[in-house]
Structure 1
Amino acid sequence: MRLLTFLVLLPCCLGHLNVYLSSAEVWRLLGLTAELYYVREGQINVYALNFVVPVPATIGELHFTWQSLTRRPLPYTLHAKVMKDSGALHTPTFNISNEGFVPTEPQTWRVDLPCTGTVAAEVDVTISLNVSTGSSSTALHFQRKKICLKDVPRPAVRVDNAPYAPTSADIFYAGAGCAGAVLLIAAIAAAACRARARKLRRARSDEQDAHAFLPDSSCKSAASYTSYRRPTSIPAPAPEDRARDLQQRIAELTIQRCRVRLRSVAMEGTFGRVYRGTYADEEAREQEVLVKTVAEHASQVQVSLLLQEGCMLYGLHHERVLSVLGVSIEDQTAPFLLYPWNAGWKNLKQFLLMCRGVSIGGNSGPPPPPLTTQHVVRMALHALDGLSYLHSQHVLHKDIAARNCIVDENLRVMIADNALARDLFPADYHCLGDNENRPIKWLALEALTKKQFSPSADVWALGVLMWELTTLAHQPYAEVDPFEVAAYLRDGYRLQQPANCPDELFAVMAYCWAMSPDDRPTLPQLQIFLREFHTQLTRFV
C-alpha cells in the first residue's frame, strides 16, 4: 500500500497512536491511491495538519481512521468548530461520542458536514481531537474548507467504509458559489449568450483600432464558450467564411516588410525559423522584435497553420500574455509574424533546460541560479493569471506548456501562442494515425480521446506545466508510448511526484488531473490556493 506523506514529521508525546485517512477516503477527496497519515507511530505530520483540505459540495461527510497501538485504549475528546457562521452549514456532528477511548483496533469514525442549502459559501471547519497519555495530552486540529451551494440537496449516498473504486474523485473545490444557478439556466440562455457575444465582438471591433480588436474563433483557432464550467458548442464557420475572416484579420495586422530587420536566428526547426530583429514604426522608432517565419520549402498548409496559430492571441492585452504585434506578407515570400521582445526574455522550456545544465543552441555559459519552491509557485501563478485572462476573453489555448511560455530575467512568465511549436519542439508532439500532430502528453483525457476542449482541459495542461516547472522541463510520461497514454490515464495513472516537490504543490497538480472535467478546480480556486501557499512559503524565508 502506497503511503502519502508530507515532508516534516515531528515526535510527540502520543506514544503509539495512528490517525490517518484510508486509501478510499484519500481517493474520494484527492483522487490518489494512498493513505494519508496525520499521526504515524506517535509522530505528528505537521505539514498534513497545516494543509486545509477542500470538501466539495457533493461530499457531505468525512472519515478518519485511528488506532491506539498501546495495550490499552487512550482517552480522547472530540469536537468541531465552524470558524465563521455564514448560515451555510448546519452544526457538524459525529457518529461517535465526543468523549471516550481510542480503540486498540483500527476504527473509522465519521464527521457529518450538512449544508443548509440556503446560502452559497465556503465554510472553514476545524475538527479538534485531544488525546491523553496519562501524564500529558496532545491536540490535533484537522482543517477543512466545506463548499456549500444554494438550493442543492445534500447527497443521499453515504460511504462509511468505502472500498477502493476507480471512479473520479470529488476533489478540490469542485463547485463554485454560483455554479448551481449557472448550470440550471445555461441551456436556456445559451442561444442568447452566443448572440450577445457576437454582438459585443462586432461592437468592440468597430470601436477599437486595428491594434486592439477581439479575435474570434476563425482566427484564433480556439472555441468560444458561454459558461465557464459547461462550454456550449458553437457551429464551426464554413470554410469560405473562415478564409474571408482570416484575410480580414491579416489585413488589419499587415505591416511593411521594409520596416523589419532580421539580425540572428534564435531557433530553427525543419521548416520553421525564429529570428531576433527590429521593427521601425512610421515615426522611425525601433523596437526589439521576435520574428516567426517558415523556410522556402514549407508547404501551404504549414504557412496557413503559422498564420492561424500566430493570430490566436492577437488583440489581447495583458502583462501575462504575449500576443503578435503584426504580420508581414508579400508576394513570393514567406510571411513574417512579429512579436514584441526584450533581450532578457527566453523560451520557458529552454530556460528550464538551462537550469538543469542542458546546453541550448550552443550556449555554453553558466546555468541560471537554481529555482526555489517560491520561484516555481510564483511562476505558476503568473501562467495562471495569463490563462485566467484568456478565459475571460473566451479564448481556449488548447496547448498550455512550458514551450509556449516566455520568461524574463526576473522570472516573470507570459503565455504565448503555439505557432511553430510542433516544428521547434517535435518530441512534444505525436501523431496517433489521424494525420494530426498533437501534444499527447499534455492533453486532458477527454481532449485526447474525444477532442473535447474546455476550460477544464486547459486546467489539466496547466497542471502538467507546473510539473514541468518542478522537474526543470523533464518529459512527462517519458516511459509511456504515446499510443498507450489514453489507456494509461483511463486506468487512473498520473505523473509521479517529483522528488523536490512539496506535497501541497503536488496535490494541486493531482486536482488538475481529475478524470472528470467537472471535478477539476477552476482557475480562481487555483489562484487562491497557490497564493496562500506562496504566502506560507515566504514566511519561513
Structure 2
Amino acid sequence: MKWLAGLLLLPLCLGHLNVYLSSAEVWRLLGLTAELFYVRDGQINFYALNFVVPVPATIGELHFTWQSLIRRPLPYSLHVDVVYDEPSKRGALHPPTFNISSEGFVPTEPQTWRVDLRCTRLVAAEADVTISLNVSTGSSSTALHFKRRKICLKDMPQQIIKVDNAHAPTSADIFYAGAGCAGGVLLIAAVAAAACRARARKLRRARSDEQDAHAFLPDSSCKSAASYTSYRRPTSLPAAAAEERARDLQQRIAELTIQRCRVRLRSVAMEGTFGRVYRGTYADEEAREQEVLVKTVAEHASQVQVSLLLQEGCMLYGLHHERVLSVLGVSIEDQTAPFLLYPWGAGWRNLKQFLLACRGVTVGGAAGVAPPPPLTTQHVVRMALHALDGLAYLHTQHVLHKDVAARNCVVDENLRVMIADNALSRDLFPGDYHCLGDNENRPIKWLALEALSKRQFSPAADVWALGVLLWELTTLAHQPYAEVDPFEVAAYLRDGYRLQQPANCPDELFAVMAYCWAMSPDDRPTLPQLQIFLRDFHTQLTRFV
C-alpha cells in the first residue's frame, strides 16, 4: 500500500528511540484523540514528517515527547528555521525558543519539551517553521525535521477563541482549522499502518464482509434527483410512490420531447458495450441549427439500460446555470432507441478524456486531436472552482449529484468546466464502477464511507466526491485507490486510510482534499467554505504570474 511505502526503518542507532506528540497535544492541535508517533521503536513515519501541520494564531507553543529506550541517553541537538511568505513581515513572530537546551541528551524516561512560537501581534503573516532534531550515537546521526505553518494575526491576543459557525469564516479559519483535522486523520492513519500488513488485510476483509453483508442489498429503485430530506435509498418503494416517480419521469420526457427528424448525427464521440455518444446538430422549429451531443443505446440494450439512460439523463432537467450541463431534449420513437440531446460547443470534451490526453494517453474519439497544453496549478484550481460552483448550485436546488467525478464533467477549450449527469457513465467508463455482489455498478472509489456502506447520501457525501475530483485534476485522471480491491475499500476507509498527496500538489491544495475526506460528514467543509478558500488560494497563485 502507498501508505506503507513511507514507513521506512531508521538507521540502527535510532532503533530504540521514540519521538511523538501526546494525545493531549494532538487534541490541542488537530482535535483528535490519539498519539502521533514520528519515530516509534526505530521506525520513522516520513509521511508525518513531510506533512506541514498548521498552527493557528491562538496557539503559541508546541510540545514534543521523546524517550531513549536504551540504557543510556542519546546525544541530540535542536535548531529552528523560520521562513516568511513575505520578507516585509519578518517581525510577525518572536524568535522561537526551547524550554530545554539546544544541545544535550535524550532522557531514558518519557519527557515533554516545548517550542515557543509567540506572535508579536504587530503584523499578520504566515511563516514556515522547521524544527530540526539531530540524534547521534557517535558513529552515525539522523536528522528529523518537524514542519509547521505558523499563523500570526495582528492585534489578536494569545488565547483560545471559539469560532461561531453562524458567521462567515475567513479562508485562513477554513483551511487551518479544517485541514488540521483532516490532515491529522491522515497522519494518524499512517502511523497505524506500522502494524503487520498481512494480518491487517485479513482482519479488514473479514470485518468488511461481516459489517457490509446487509449494506449491499439489491436496490431496484433509482432516484433521478434526491432531496436533502431523504438521504437513504430504500430497498423497495410503495406502489403509490413508484407510480408517482414513473409519472414524474413521463412528464419530464413529455416536456422535453423533440422530433427525431430534427437531429442529425455526424460522428461517434464515445462508445461502450451498449451505449453510444454522437456529435451532431439539432434544428429547432425556426430551422436554427446548434451543435449537440447525443446519448443513446445500441439495439441490443436491455429495457433496464434504456430506463437508466432516461432516468439519469433527466436528473438535471430544468436546472439552468453556467456550470451545469443539463439535457436539452429527448427523442422517443417507437421501435427505436431514445436520444438524449445536450448543448455542445466547439472544442468541448469530456473532462476525464481531456485529463488523460494531458498526460499523453490516447482515448477513443480523440484520434487526430492535438494534445492540450500542460496544466498549471492555477488551471487546476480554477477548474475545481468551476465544478464547485456547479455543485453548489445543485445543492441550492436541493439536488444531490451522487456521482461527482471527472467523467461526469465537460470542459471547453478555455478550460471552463461544467458538471453533467452520469447517464451512460457506467458503460463508457467501466473501470470506474464496480459491483459488490449486489447487481449494481457503483463508483465505489468516489463514494464517501457512509454512502458506500450505508447508502446514506447528503451534501457532505458530494463534498467527499468533490475532493476525489480535485485529486483527479492534480493527477491528470489517475485511478484513485488503484492498489485497493473494490471489496476492501469500505474497510480501507474505515481504518483511516486516504488517497496519497500527488507529487506535484501544493500542501494547501492537498489539505483541502483531506478536509473533504473527514470520517464524519459533520467535519467536512461546506461548499461555501471551499469556495472562499479556493478563490483566495487562486488569487495568491496569480500574484506570482
Equivalent residue for 2:458?
454
Quote the residue 1:181 is aligned against.
Answer: none
Deviation at 1:258, TM superposition (A): 1.3
Report SS of the residue matched to 1:148. Answer: coil
- Bigger mean CA deviation after superposition, 498-507 or 420-429: 498-507
Partner of 1:29: 30
Quote the residue 2:376 is aligned against: 372
Equivalent residues of 1:224, 1:234 under 8 A apart: no
What is the deviation of 1:316?
Answer: 0.7
Q: CA deviation at 1:52?
A: 6.1
Answer whether contact 2:98 2:114 (CA < 8 A) is retained.
no
Q: Choose which of 418, 438, 456 in structure 1 pairs with 2:442.
A: 438
Deviations 1:36-81 (A, max 9, x none): 9xxxxxxxxxx998x96679xxxx9786236999989999xxxxxx
Range with greater deviation from structure 2 (530-539 or 280-289): 530-539
**Pairwise CA distance, 1:232:** 6.6
Native 8 Å contact 1:73 1:101 kept in 2: no
Aligned to 1:107: 112
Q: Secondary structure at the match of 2:285?
A: coil
In structure 1, what is the equivalent of residue 301 of structure 2?
298
Q: Distance in 2 between matches of 1:377 and 1:278?
A: 33
Return the alpha-carbon distance in structure 1 between the equivalents of residues 5 and 487 of structure 2. Answer: 30
Q: Report SS of the residue matched to 2:384.
A: helix
**1:148 maps to amino acid:** K
The aligned amino acid for 2:307 is S
Aligned in 2, Cα 1:536/1:300: closer, same or farther, shift over 3 Å?
A: same
8 Å CA contact retained: 2:410, 2:417: yes
Deviation at 1:98, TM superposition (A): 10
Q: Are the equivalent residues in 2 in contact too, given 1:223–1:234 (CA < 8 A)? A: no
2:386 equivalent in structure 1: 382
**Which letter maps to 2:150?**
F
After TM superposition, the runs of 4+ consecutive aligned structure 1 residues lying more than 3 A away are 1-4, 20-28, 30-36, 51-55, 60-63, 66-75, 97-111, 124-129, 144-152, 168-172, 231-237
CA shift in 2, pair 1:72/1:257, >3 Å: closer
Find 1:325's aligned residue among 288, 305, 328.
Answer: 328
Contact 2:22/2:65 (<8 A) preserved: no
Which residue does 1:87 correspond to in 2? none
Higher relative contact order (CA 8 A, sep 6+): 2
Distance 1:535-1:234 versus aligned 2 partners, 3 A rule: same
CA contact (8 A) 1:219 1:311 kept: no
Q: TM-score, normalised by structure 1?
A: 0.66
Alignment match of 2:536 (pick from 510, 527, 532): 532
Which one-letter code corresponds to 1:29 in the other structure? Answer: L
Within 1, Cα distance between the matches of 2:180 and 2:453?
20
- Confirm or deny that 1:238 pairs with 2:241: yes
2:413: which partner in 1? 409
CA separation in 2, counterparts of 1:100 and 1:295?
73
Report the Cα distance in structure 2 between the residues aligned to 1:34 and 1:386, rounded to whole angstroms.
40
TM norm structure 2:
0.66
In structure 2, the partner of 1:207 is: none
Structure 2: runs of 5 or more not aligned: 7-18, 40-49, 67-73, 81-95, 117-123, 132-147, 154-159, 167-178, 186-220
Q: 1:48-63 residue pairs with structure 2 within 5 A?
A: none
Q: Which amino acid aligns with 2:542?
A: T
User: Cα offset for 1:3?
Assistant: 12
Task: Report deviation, 1:338.
Answer: 0.4
Query: What's the secondary structure of 1:314's corresponding residue?
Result: coil
Task: Kindly report which structure 2 residues correspond to 1:38-437, keeping only aligned pairs within 5 A, or say none.
Answer: 64-65=62-63, 107=112, 142-143=150-151, 148-149=162-163, 170-171=181-182, 221-225=224-228, 238-361=241-364, 363-437=367-441
CA contact (8 A) 2:22 2:64 kept: no
Within 2, Cα distance between the matches of 1:486 and 1:455? 20
Please tell me the residue identity of whatever aligns with 1:65: H
**C-alpha distance in structure 1 between counterparts of 2:300 and 2:440, whole Å:** 20
- Alpha-carbon shift at residue 21 of structure 1 (Å): 8.9
1:135 aligned residue: none
* TM superposition shift of 1:148: 3.3
Question: Do the aligned partners of residues 242 and 71 (structure 1) sit closer, same or farther apart at CA in structure 2, a change above 3 Å counting?
Answer: closer
Question: C-alpha displacement at 1:259, in angstroms?
Answer: 1.1
- Within-5 A mapping of 1:5-20: none
Greater CA drift, 356-365 or 453-462 = 356-365
Percent identical pairs in the alignment equals 74
Which is further off, 522-531 or 440-449?
A: 522-531
Give CA deviations for 1:345-394 in whole Å, capped at 9, x if unaligned.
00000000000101122514442111111111111111111111111110
2:376 maps to a residue whose letter is T
User: What is the root-mean-square deviation of aligned Cα atoms in Å?
Assistant: 4.3
Report if aligned partners of 1:21, 1:64 keep a CA contact under 8 Å in 2.
no
